[in-house]
Structure 1
Amino acid sequence: MKLKWIFAALVLANIGLWMWASWYQDAPVEETRAARAPVAPEKMRLLNEPGVKLVPRKQPPPANAELTASVAPACFHIGPFPDVDLVARAETRLNELPLTYSRRAEETRSVTGYLVYLPPLSSPKAAERKRQELTRLGFKDHALMQEEGMQNAISLGLFTVEANAASRVRELAAKKIQARIQPFQQTRTRFWLDVAVRAPAETQGKLRQIDWAAKDVQVQEIACPAGSSPPPAKPPGLRDNAPG
Protein backbone atom coordinates (compact mmCIF):
# COMPACT_ATOMS: atom_id res chain seq x y z
CA MET A 1 0.00 0.00 0.00
CA LYS A 2 2.83 2.39 0.84
CA LEU A 3 4.53 1.62 -2.47
CA LYS A 4 1.42 2.78 -4.33
CA TRP A 5 1.48 6.20 -2.64
CA ILE A 6 5.18 6.62 -3.19
CA PHE A 7 4.75 5.84 -6.90
CA ALA A 8 1.91 8.35 -7.22
CA ALA A 9 3.96 11.07 -5.56
CA LEU A 10 6.87 10.48 -7.96
CA VAL A 11 4.52 10.69 -10.95
CA LEU A 12 3.06 14.00 -9.74
CA ALA A 13 6.53 15.41 -9.09
CA ASN A 14 7.64 14.54 -12.65
CA ILE A 15 4.51 16.16 -14.11
CA GLY A 16 5.14 19.33 -12.11
CA LEU A 17 8.78 19.48 -13.23
CA TRP A 18 7.74 19.09 -16.86
CA MET A 19 5.13 21.87 -16.57
CA TRP A 20 7.63 24.27 -15.00
CA ALA A 21 10.21 23.59 -17.71
CA SER A 22 7.63 24.10 -20.47
CA TRP A 23 5.75 27.17 -19.23
CA TYR A 24 8.00 29.31 -16.99
CA GLN A 25 11.46 28.94 -18.43
CA ASP A 26 12.76 32.25 -19.91
CA ALA A 27 13.14 32.42 -23.68
CA PRO A 28 16.68 32.60 -24.99
CA VAL A 29 18.13 36.13 -24.87
CA GLU A 30 19.26 35.96 -28.48
CA GLU A 31 15.62 35.51 -29.68
CA THR A 32 14.05 38.46 -27.76
CA ARG A 33 16.64 41.22 -27.90
CA ALA A 34 17.20 43.31 -31.00
CA ALA A 35 20.70 43.29 -32.32
CA ARG A 36 22.76 46.30 -31.13
CA ALA A 37 24.93 48.29 -33.44
CA PRO A 38 28.62 47.59 -32.99
CA VAL A 39 30.37 50.03 -30.67
CA ALA A 40 33.29 52.00 -32.10
CA PRO A 41 35.29 52.99 -29.02
CA GLU A 42 37.75 55.06 -31.07
CA LYS A 43 34.88 57.52 -31.87
CA MET A 44 33.69 57.97 -28.30
CA ARG A 45 34.77 61.14 -26.40
CA LEU A 46 33.91 62.40 -22.93
CA LEU A 47 31.91 65.68 -22.66
CA ASN A 48 34.54 67.23 -20.42
CA GLU A 49 37.35 66.26 -22.77
CA PRO A 50 39.18 69.24 -24.35
CA GLY A 51 37.93 70.13 -27.84
CA VAL A 52 34.39 68.83 -27.31
CA LYS A 53 31.65 71.42 -28.13
CA LEU A 54 28.09 71.12 -26.91
CA VAL A 55 25.50 71.70 -29.64
CA PRO A 56 22.21 73.16 -28.30
CA ARG A 57 19.04 71.40 -29.29
CA LYS A 58 16.98 73.36 -31.82
CA GLN A 59 13.75 74.76 -30.42
CA PRO A 60 10.59 74.58 -32.57
CA PRO A 61 9.41 78.01 -33.86
CA PRO A 62 6.34 79.57 -32.21
CA ALA A 63 2.95 78.96 -33.78
CA ASN A 64 2.73 82.55 -35.15
CA ALA A 65 6.36 82.76 -36.26
CA GLU A 66 5.48 83.25 -39.93
CA LEU A 67 2.97 86.01 -39.13
CA THR A 68 5.41 87.82 -36.84
CA ALA A 69 8.25 87.54 -39.33
CA SER A 70 6.11 89.08 -42.09
CA VAL A 71 5.51 92.30 -40.06
CA ALA A 72 8.64 94.44 -39.95
CA PRO A 73 9.35 96.81 -37.05
CA ALA A 74 7.99 100.28 -37.83
CA CYS A 75 7.56 103.83 -36.47
CA PHE A 76 4.34 105.86 -36.29
CA HIS A 77 2.65 109.26 -36.10
CA ILE A 78 -0.50 109.14 -33.97
CA GLY A 79 -3.01 112.00 -34.12
CA PRO A 80 -4.24 114.61 -34.36
CA PHE A 81 -5.61 115.00 -30.82
CA PRO A 82 -7.83 118.09 -30.42
CA ASP A 83 -6.99 118.87 -26.79
CA VAL A 84 -4.54 118.24 -23.97
CA ASP A 85 -6.79 115.83 -22.06
CA LEU A 86 -7.13 113.42 -24.96
CA VAL A 87 -3.42 113.40 -25.79
CA ALA A 88 -2.59 112.78 -22.11
CA ARG A 89 -4.96 109.81 -22.10
CA ALA A 90 -3.25 108.47 -25.23
CA GLU A 91 0.16 108.81 -23.58
CA THR A 92 -1.06 106.62 -20.72
CA ARG A 93 -2.00 103.90 -23.21
CA LEU A 94 1.43 104.07 -24.89
CA ASN A 95 3.14 103.79 -21.50
CA GLU A 96 1.24 100.55 -20.89
CA LEU A 97 2.60 98.86 -24.03
CA PRO A 98 5.36 100.25 -23.43
CA LEU A 99 6.47 102.51 -26.30
CA THR A 100 8.93 105.40 -26.47
CA TYR A 101 7.30 108.51 -27.93
CA SER A 102 7.37 112.31 -27.99
CA ARG A 103 4.54 114.86 -27.99
CA ARG A 104 4.35 117.48 -30.74
CA ALA A 105 2.02 120.51 -30.89
CA GLU A 106 0.82 121.92 -34.20
CA GLU A 107 -1.00 125.25 -34.60
CA THR A 108 -3.36 125.70 -37.52
CA ARG A 109 -5.59 128.57 -38.62
CA SER A 110 -8.96 127.64 -40.01
CA VAL A 111 -12.10 129.52 -41.09
CA THR A 112 -14.82 128.97 -38.49
CA GLY A 113 -17.43 131.45 -39.78
CA TYR A 114 -18.35 134.28 -42.16
CA LEU A 115 -19.32 137.77 -40.96
CA VAL A 116 -21.72 139.85 -43.06
CA TYR A 117 -21.27 143.54 -42.19
CA LEU A 118 -21.44 147.15 -43.30
CA PRO A 119 -18.10 149.03 -43.28
CA PRO A 120 -17.46 151.55 -40.47
CA LEU A 121 -19.55 154.71 -40.70
CA SER A 122 -18.37 158.21 -39.85
CA SER A 123 -19.87 158.38 -36.37
CA PRO A 124 -22.04 156.48 -33.88
CA LYS A 125 -25.01 158.66 -34.90
CA ALA A 126 -24.55 157.76 -38.56
CA ALA A 127 -24.37 154.11 -37.60
CA GLU A 128 -27.57 154.39 -35.55
CA ARG A 129 -29.43 156.02 -38.47
CA LYS A 130 -28.26 153.15 -40.73
CA ARG A 131 -29.54 150.59 -38.25
CA GLN A 132 -32.97 152.27 -38.21
CA GLU A 133 -33.02 152.12 -42.02
CA LEU A 134 -32.17 148.40 -41.91
CA THR A 135 -35.04 147.77 -39.52
CA ARG A 136 -37.51 149.58 -41.81
CA LEU A 137 -36.28 147.40 -44.72
CA GLY A 138 -37.05 144.24 -42.74
CA PHE A 139 -33.52 143.39 -41.52
CA LYS A 140 -33.79 143.16 -37.73
CA ASP A 141 -30.72 141.00 -37.06
CA HIS A 142 -28.00 143.68 -36.79
CA ALA A 143 -25.67 145.11 -34.14
CA LEU A 144 -23.22 147.99 -33.74
CA MET A 145 -19.55 146.99 -33.72
CA GLN A 146 -16.84 148.82 -31.76
CA GLU A 147 -13.87 146.42 -32.07
CA GLU A 148 -10.50 147.85 -33.05
CA GLY A 149 -10.52 148.59 -36.77
CA MET A 150 -14.31 148.13 -36.97
CA GLN A 151 -15.56 151.10 -34.92
CA ASN A 152 -19.11 152.12 -35.99
CA ALA A 153 -19.42 149.16 -38.37
CA ILE A 154 -22.69 147.20 -38.38
CA SER A 155 -22.85 143.42 -38.08
CA LEU A 156 -25.57 141.75 -40.12
CA GLY A 157 -25.04 138.18 -39.04
CA LEU A 158 -22.37 135.51 -38.51
CA PHE A 159 -22.73 132.37 -40.64
CA THR A 160 -20.91 129.03 -40.47
CA VAL A 161 -21.58 128.30 -44.17
CA GLU A 162 -20.21 130.68 -46.77
CA ALA A 163 -23.17 130.12 -49.13
CA ASN A 164 -25.60 131.34 -46.46
CA ALA A 165 -23.53 134.47 -45.95
CA ALA A 166 -23.52 135.14 -49.68
CA SER A 167 -27.29 134.72 -49.78
CA ARG A 168 -27.70 137.39 -47.07
CA VAL A 169 -25.47 139.78 -49.06
CA ARG A 170 -27.71 139.32 -52.10
CA GLU A 171 -30.84 140.02 -50.02
CA LEU A 172 -29.30 143.27 -48.79
CA ALA A 173 -28.16 144.24 -52.29
CA ALA A 174 -31.74 143.89 -53.51
CA LYS A 175 -32.63 146.65 -50.99
CA LYS A 176 -29.69 148.87 -52.11
CA ILE A 177 -27.56 147.95 -49.07
CA GLN A 178 -23.98 147.09 -50.01
CA ALA A 179 -22.72 144.61 -47.43
CA ARG A 180 -19.44 142.68 -47.29
CA ILE A 181 -18.28 139.24 -46.17
CA GLN A 182 -15.31 138.72 -43.87
CA PRO A 183 -14.10 135.18 -43.05
CA PHE A 184 -13.67 134.53 -39.34
CA GLN A 185 -10.41 132.67 -38.63
CA GLN A 186 -9.48 130.87 -35.45
CA THR A 187 -6.16 129.41 -34.32
CA ARG A 188 -6.38 125.81 -33.13
CA THR A 189 -3.73 123.70 -31.45
CA ARG A 190 -3.61 120.01 -32.26
CA PHE A 191 -1.30 117.39 -30.76
CA TRP A 192 0.60 114.46 -32.25
CA LEU A 193 2.45 111.55 -30.64
CA ASP A 194 5.54 110.47 -32.58
CA VAL A 195 6.77 106.90 -32.01
CA ALA A 196 10.30 107.21 -33.41
CA VAL A 197 11.62 103.87 -32.06
CA ARG A 198 10.92 100.74 -34.08
CA ALA A 199 7.88 98.98 -32.64
CA PRO A 200 7.93 95.13 -32.73
CA ALA A 201 5.23 93.32 -34.69
CA GLU A 202 3.20 92.24 -31.65
CA THR A 203 3.22 95.80 -30.30
CA GLN A 204 1.97 97.15 -33.63
CA GLY A 205 -1.10 94.94 -33.40
CA LYS A 206 -1.95 96.27 -29.94
CA LEU A 207 -1.30 99.85 -31.08
CA ARG A 208 -3.82 99.64 -33.92
CA GLN A 209 -6.53 98.26 -31.61
CA ILE A 210 -6.50 101.15 -29.12
CA ASP A 211 -9.61 103.33 -28.85
CA TRP A 212 -8.24 106.89 -28.84
CA ALA A 213 -11.63 108.49 -27.97
CA ALA A 214 -11.24 110.99 -30.84
CA LYS A 215 -12.80 110.38 -34.24
CA ASP A 216 -10.05 111.99 -36.36
CA VAL A 217 -7.08 110.21 -34.74
CA GLN A 218 -5.15 107.88 -37.04
CA VAL A 219 -2.10 105.65 -36.61
CA GLN A 220 0.15 106.50 -39.57
CA GLU A 221 3.19 104.35 -40.32
CA ILE A 222 6.32 106.36 -41.16
CA ALA A 223 9.96 105.69 -42.02
CA CYS A 224 12.02 105.22 -38.87
CA PRO A 225 14.95 107.57 -38.23
CA ALA A 226 18.39 106.11 -38.81
CA GLY A 227 19.74 104.22 -35.81
CA SER A 228 16.36 103.62 -34.16
CA SER A 229 15.82 100.18 -32.70
CA PRO A 230 13.13 98.44 -30.64
CA PRO A 231 13.43 98.50 -26.82
CA PRO A 232 15.19 95.51 -25.25
CA ALA A 233 12.98 92.60 -24.25
CA LYS A 234 12.27 92.24 -20.55
CA PRO A 235 13.28 89.04 -18.72
CA PRO A 236 10.32 86.73 -17.94
CA GLY A 237 8.51 87.68 -14.76
CA LEU A 238 9.85 91.27 -14.63
CA ARG A 239 7.14 93.90 -14.20
CA ASP A 240 7.13 97.68 -14.37
CA ASN A 241 7.15 99.57 -11.11
CA ALA A 242 7.95 96.41 -9.16
CA PRO A 243 8.74 97.12 -5.52
CA GLY A 244 12.41 96.93 -4.64
Structure 2
Amino acid sequence: MLIRALIVLLVVLNLGVAAWWLTRSDPPPPSAPEIPAGVAILELVDTPQASPARVAAVPTAAVPPAAQATPGATASAASTPAGAPASACFRVGPFADRAAAEQSRGAFAPANGRAALRETPGTNASGYRVSLPPSATREEALAIAQRIGAAGFDDFLVINQGEETNGIALGRYRSREGAQRRQSQLVAAGFPARIHAIGEEGPSRWWLDVAAPAGTRAATLRASVAVPVEPQDCPAALR
Protein backbone atom coordinates (compact mmCIF):
# COMPACT_ATOMS: atom_id res chain seq x y z
CA MET A 1 0.00 0.00 0.00
CA LEU A 2 2.87 2.35 0.85
CA ILE A 3 4.73 1.59 -2.38
CA ARG A 4 1.65 2.35 -4.47
CA ALA A 5 1.28 5.72 -2.75
CA LEU A 6 4.94 6.62 -3.50
CA ILE A 7 4.52 5.74 -7.16
CA VAL A 8 1.43 7.95 -7.45
CA LEU A 9 3.33 10.80 -5.74
CA LEU A 10 6.27 10.57 -8.20
CA VAL A 11 3.91 10.61 -11.19
CA VAL A 12 2.15 13.71 -9.86
CA LEU A 13 5.49 15.50 -9.28
CA ASN A 14 6.70 14.72 -12.82
CA LEU A 15 3.48 16.01 -14.31
CA GLY A 16 3.80 19.23 -12.30
CA VAL A 17 7.37 19.86 -13.41
CA ALA A 18 6.42 19.24 -17.06
CA ALA A 19 3.52 21.66 -16.84
CA TRP A 20 5.73 24.36 -15.28
CA TRP A 21 8.38 23.96 -17.99
CA LEU A 22 5.82 24.30 -20.79
CA THR A 23 4.08 27.33 -19.33
CA ARG A 24 7.12 29.37 -18.13
CA SER A 25 7.87 32.80 -19.77
CA ASP A 26 11.17 33.70 -21.60
CA PRO A 27 13.85 35.33 -19.39
CA PRO A 28 14.32 39.10 -19.93
CA PRO A 29 17.34 40.13 -22.10
CA PRO A 30 20.47 41.22 -20.19
CA SER A 31 20.64 44.92 -19.58
CA ALA A 32 23.38 46.94 -21.31
CA PRO A 33 26.26 48.05 -19.06
CA GLU A 34 26.18 51.60 -17.95
CA ILE A 35 28.46 53.92 -19.98
CA PRO A 36 30.44 56.49 -17.98
CA ALA A 37 29.57 60.11 -18.51
CA GLY A 38 31.52 61.87 -21.30
CA VAL A 39 32.24 58.76 -23.36
CA ALA A 40 30.93 58.90 -26.94
CA ILE A 41 28.73 56.05 -28.15
CA LEU A 42 29.83 54.23 -31.32
CA GLU A 43 27.01 53.80 -33.82
CA LEU A 44 27.16 51.51 -36.88
CA VAL A 45 25.88 53.05 -40.08
CA ASP A 46 24.82 50.86 -42.96
CA THR A 47 26.90 51.70 -46.08
CA PRO A 48 24.94 51.16 -49.27
CA GLN A 49 26.92 49.14 -51.78
CA ALA A 50 27.31 50.54 -55.25
CA SER A 51 25.18 48.87 -57.80
CA PRO A 52 26.78 47.17 -60.81
CA ALA A 53 25.46 49.96 -63.01
CA ARG A 54 27.23 52.63 -60.94
CA VAL A 55 30.48 50.67 -60.88
CA ALA A 56 30.46 50.31 -64.65
CA ALA A 57 29.81 54.04 -65.03
CA VAL A 58 33.04 55.03 -63.27
CA PRO A 59 35.50 56.14 -66.01
CA THR A 60 38.88 54.43 -66.22
CA ALA A 61 41.87 56.80 -66.31
CA ALA A 62 43.81 56.53 -69.54
CA VAL A 63 47.28 55.01 -69.12
CA PRO A 64 49.96 57.03 -70.92
CA PRO A 65 52.05 55.10 -73.45
CA ALA A 66 55.20 55.62 -71.36
CA ALA A 67 53.60 53.79 -68.42
CA GLN A 68 52.83 50.79 -70.64
CA ALA A 69 56.50 50.21 -71.51
CA THR A 70 57.90 46.80 -70.81
CA PRO A 71 60.16 46.29 -67.75
CA GLY A 72 63.16 45.63 -69.99
CA ALA A 73 62.71 48.92 -71.83
CA THR A 74 62.35 50.79 -68.52
CA ALA A 75 65.58 49.28 -67.17
CA SER A 76 67.42 50.15 -70.37
CA ALA A 77 66.27 53.74 -70.22
CA ALA A 78 67.33 54.02 -66.59
CA SER A 79 70.81 52.66 -67.27
CA THR A 80 71.51 55.16 -70.09
CA PRO A 81 71.63 58.75 -68.79
CA ALA A 82 69.66 61.21 -70.83
CA GLY A 83 71.84 63.28 -73.08
CA ALA A 84 74.98 61.13 -72.58
CA PRO A 85 77.13 61.66 -75.69
CA ALA A 86 78.27 58.58 -77.57
CA SER A 87 81.94 58.37 -78.50
CA ALA A 88 84.01 56.86 -81.29
CA CYS A 89 87.35 55.57 -79.99
CA PHE A 90 90.65 55.15 -81.83
CA ARG A 91 94.17 53.86 -81.18
CA VAL A 92 96.82 56.29 -82.38
CA GLY A 93 100.47 55.24 -82.68
CA PRO A 94 102.92 53.90 -81.95
CA PHE A 95 105.11 56.90 -81.17
CA ALA A 96 108.89 56.67 -80.87
CA ASP A 97 108.95 58.10 -77.35
CA ARG A 98 106.80 59.72 -74.70
CA ALA A 99 107.67 63.24 -75.78
CA ALA A 100 106.32 62.64 -79.29
CA ALA A 101 103.12 61.14 -77.88
CA GLU A 102 102.64 64.08 -75.51
CA GLN A 103 103.16 66.54 -78.36
CA SER A 104 100.53 64.83 -80.52
CA ARG A 105 98.13 64.56 -77.59
CA GLY A 106 97.42 68.27 -77.76
CA ALA A 107 96.18 67.91 -81.32
CA PHE A 108 93.08 66.01 -80.16
CA ALA A 109 91.81 68.35 -77.47
CA PRO A 110 89.45 69.99 -77.09
CA ALA A 111 87.96 69.96 -80.61
CA ASN A 112 88.49 66.25 -81.39
CA GLY A 113 87.77 64.76 -77.94
CA ARG A 114 89.83 63.23 -75.12
CA ALA A 115 93.17 61.42 -75.39
CA ALA A 116 94.86 59.15 -72.83
CA LEU A 117 98.55 58.23 -72.94
CA ARG A 118 99.47 54.52 -72.81
CA GLU A 119 102.83 52.74 -72.74
CA THR A 120 103.58 49.30 -74.18
CA PRO A 121 106.75 47.83 -72.63
CA GLY A 122 109.43 46.83 -75.12
CA THR A 123 110.87 43.35 -75.49
CA ASN A 124 113.03 42.20 -72.58
CA ALA A 125 116.62 41.04 -72.88
CA SER A 126 117.54 37.48 -71.91
CA GLY A 127 119.30 38.80 -68.82
CA TYR A 128 121.26 41.66 -67.25
CA ARG A 129 124.71 41.83 -65.72
CA VAL A 130 126.30 44.35 -63.37
CA SER A 131 129.99 45.27 -63.59
CA LEU A 132 132.67 47.87 -62.94
CA PRO A 133 134.62 49.34 -65.88
CA PRO A 134 138.12 47.95 -66.54
CA SER A 135 141.00 49.29 -64.46
CA ALA A 136 144.36 50.37 -65.92
CA THR A 137 146.24 47.37 -64.44
CA ARG A 138 145.41 44.02 -62.93
CA GLU A 139 146.89 45.07 -59.59
CA GLU A 140 144.49 48.01 -59.47
CA ALA A 141 141.56 45.72 -60.34
CA LEU A 142 142.55 43.29 -57.53
CA ALA A 143 142.76 46.17 -55.07
CA ILE A 144 139.22 47.30 -55.98
CA ALA A 145 137.97 43.73 -55.62
CA GLN A 146 139.41 43.59 -52.08
CA ARG A 147 137.58 46.82 -51.21
CA ILE A 148 134.31 45.39 -52.59
CA GLY A 149 134.71 42.29 -50.40
CA ALA A 150 135.58 44.42 -47.35
CA ALA A 151 132.36 46.44 -47.93
CA GLY A 152 130.32 43.26 -47.45
CA PHE A 153 129.57 42.34 -51.04
CA ASP A 154 130.01 38.91 -52.55
CA ASP A 155 129.54 37.42 -56.05
CA PHE A 156 132.26 39.44 -57.78
CA LEU A 157 135.06 38.40 -60.12
CA VAL A 158 138.00 40.14 -61.82
CA ILE A 159 137.68 39.67 -65.59
CA ASN A 160 140.85 38.17 -67.15
CA GLN A 161 140.13 38.41 -70.89
CA GLY A 162 138.10 40.09 -73.57
CA GLU A 163 137.10 43.69 -74.01
CA GLU A 164 136.49 44.09 -70.28
CA THR A 165 139.84 42.69 -69.08
CA ASN A 166 140.63 44.03 -65.57
CA GLY A 167 136.99 44.93 -65.12
CA ILE A 168 134.98 43.42 -62.25
CA ALA A 169 131.83 41.34 -62.79
CA LEU A 170 129.30 41.91 -60.00
CA GLY A 171 126.49 39.50 -60.81
CA ARG A 172 124.04 38.39 -63.47
CA TYR A 173 120.26 38.78 -63.17
CA ARG A 174 117.20 37.68 -65.09
CA SER A 175 115.28 40.94 -64.63
CA ARG A 176 116.30 44.56 -64.93
CA GLU A 177 114.76 45.26 -61.52
CA GLY A 178 117.15 42.82 -59.81
CA ALA A 179 120.13 44.31 -61.62
CA GLN A 180 119.06 47.82 -60.66
CA ARG A 181 118.84 46.89 -56.97
CA ARG A 182 122.38 45.47 -57.10
CA GLN A 183 123.65 48.57 -58.91
CA SER A 184 122.03 50.91 -56.37
CA GLN A 185 123.68 49.09 -53.46
CA LEU A 186 127.14 49.29 -55.07
CA VAL A 187 126.79 52.95 -56.04
CA ALA A 188 125.70 53.79 -52.48
CA ALA A 189 128.94 52.11 -51.26
CA GLY A 190 131.05 54.20 -53.64
CA PHE A 191 131.53 51.79 -56.56
CA PRO A 192 130.47 53.06 -60.04
CA ALA A 193 128.57 49.94 -61.11
CA ARG A 194 126.80 49.81 -64.46
CA ILE A 195 124.18 47.54 -66.08
CA HIS A 196 124.53 45.68 -69.40
CA ALA A 197 121.64 43.96 -71.20
CA ILE A 198 122.37 40.44 -72.43
CA GLY A 199 120.80 40.10 -75.86
CA GLU A 200 118.55 42.65 -77.55
CA GLU A 201 116.23 44.83 -75.51
CA GLY A 202 113.55 46.65 -77.46
CA PRO A 203 112.43 50.14 -76.36
CA SER A 204 108.99 50.92 -74.99
CA ARG A 205 106.36 52.19 -77.40
CA TRP A 206 103.79 54.88 -76.69
CA TRP A 207 100.17 55.13 -77.85
CA LEU A 208 97.25 57.52 -77.58
CA ASP A 209 93.76 56.21 -76.85
CA VAL A 210 91.40 58.84 -78.28
CA ALA A 211 87.65 59.27 -77.66
CA ALA A 212 86.22 61.52 -80.39
CA PRO A 213 82.63 62.68 -80.95
CA ALA A 214 80.29 60.07 -82.42
CA GLY A 215 80.56 59.81 -86.18
CA THR A 216 84.22 60.81 -86.32
CA ARG A 217 86.22 58.86 -88.91
CA ALA A 218 89.81 57.66 -88.64
CA ALA A 219 90.71 59.61 -91.78
CA THR A 220 89.76 62.84 -90.01
CA LEU A 221 92.22 62.16 -87.19
CA ARG A 222 95.03 61.07 -89.50
CA ALA A 223 95.24 64.64 -90.74
CA SER A 224 96.44 65.70 -87.26
CA VAL A 225 99.24 63.12 -86.74
CA ALA A 226 101.89 61.30 -88.74
CA VAL A 227 101.26 57.83 -87.23
CA PRO A 228 98.58 55.20 -87.89
CA VAL A 229 95.04 55.71 -86.53
CA GLU A 230 92.84 52.64 -86.06
CA PRO A 231 89.30 52.29 -84.61
CA GLN A 232 89.00 50.38 -81.33
CA ASP A 233 86.58 49.72 -78.47
CA CYS A 234 86.57 52.53 -75.95
CA PRO A 235 88.98 51.68 -73.09
CA ALA A 236 87.99 52.16 -69.47
CA ALA A 237 90.18 55.28 -69.17
CA LEU A 238 87.95 57.12 -71.67
CA ARG A 239 84.50 55.99 -70.48
Q: Which has the higher strand share?
A: 1
Which structure would you say has the larger Rg? 2
TM-score by length of 2: 0.31
- What's the TM-score once normalised by structure 1's chain length? 0.31
